[in-house]
Chains A and B, each alone.
Chain A
Amino acid sequence: ETGVTQTPRHLVMGMTNKKSLKCEQHLGHNAMYWYKQSAKKPLELMFVYNFKEQTENNSVPSRFSPECPNSSHLFLHLHTLQPEDSALYLCASSQEGSLNTGELFFGEGSRLTVL
């Protein structure tokens, strides 16, 4: 299995739908993240989880709701999205600690299209 797995790879939803993105990491890492990648913009860090506890929320609208039930799984619940939310959503994990440089390991992403 690859280190970080994301499902679904592609998702099309209407503005009134509710859907979820799933991420699973098989690397034994202690931190997980959601990033948003939009065309012609730098990657945007959305949420950070450390040992299942959310440590950062970068002013993300409440229509995005993360959930981290354990250190290996991360979800992003989506509801009442806007067309401008269409993007590639990347999950990542890392092993954080004083002896680690904290490089991120990314999944392949979930391509979201909001109609």
Chain B
Amino acid sequence: GDSVTQMEGPVTLSEEAFLTINCTYTATGYPSLFWYVQYPGEGLQLLLKATKADDKGSNKGFEATYRKETTSFHLEKGSVQVSDSAVYFCALKAGGTSYGKLTFGQGTILTVHP
């Protein structure tokens, strides 16, 4: 079945450091890929997405490129801020699947210190 594997957290960085959170997936067909972010006490928000191979999703300084050859969708940011502290979820929706069938990774906790 479909699956998403994220790097184990928590990740702790200093402000302005470079961030990478690894995400790899297993899916049939051609999935759409997503990164969601959950700030403390809130629900999940879509951060960025990519719908086909080699697409790059970007938002708020975050980027991720859909790599079909390595089945990866790693999240990167060049300079993190304290306000980026949150839980980050990688997710996929396999092509042709039924409603709402997003498969989520387990989440990676990011803490950024001043």
Total contacting residues, chain B, CB less than 8 A = 23
**Which of A42, A56, A105 has most chain B Cβ within 10 Å?**
A42
Query: Smallest CB-CB separation from B44: which chain A residue?
Result: A106
Contact of B100 among A4, A6, A56 (CB under 8 A): A56
Residue-wise interface mask of B (30-62) relative to A, using a CB-CB cutoff of 8 A (1 in contact, 0 not): 001010100001111110010100000000000
Mark A residues whose CB is within 8 Å of B: 4, 6, 31, 33, 40-43, 45, 48, 50, 55-56, 90, 92, 94, 96, 101-109
Bound form: Cα–Cα A20–B36 in Å: 27
Can you list 17 A-B pairs, Cβ within 8 angstroms, ordered by A?
A31-B100, A48-B98, A48-B100, A55-B98, A56-B98, A90-B43, A92-B100, A96-B99, A96-B100, A101-B49, A101-B51, A102-B99, A102-B100, A102-B102, A106-B43, A108-B43, A109-B43
Contacts of B106 in A (CB 8 A): 40-42
Contacts of A56 in B (CB 8 A): 98-101
Mark B residues whose CB is within 8 Å of A: 4, 32, 34, 36, 41-46, 49, 51, 89, 93, 98-102, 104-107
Known A48-B99, A108-B43; judge A102-B105 contact (CB<8 A).
Answer: no
Bound form: Cα–Cα A90–B49 in Å: 20
CB <8 Å contact, B51 and A90? no
Bound form: Cα–Cα A57–B27 in Å: 21
**Which of A50, A104, A107, A109 has most chain B Cβ within 10 Å?**
A104
Query: Smallest CB-CB separation from A43: which chain B residue?
Result: B104
A31-B99, A55-B99 known; 15 new pairs, CB 8 Å cut-off, are A31-B100, A33-B100, A41-B106, A48-B98, A90-B43, A90-B44, A92-B100, A96-B100, A102-B32, A102-B102, A103-B32, A103-B34, A103-B93, A108-B42, A109-B43
Contacts of A90 in B (CB 8 A): 43-44
Bound form: Cα–Cα A109–B42 in Å: 7
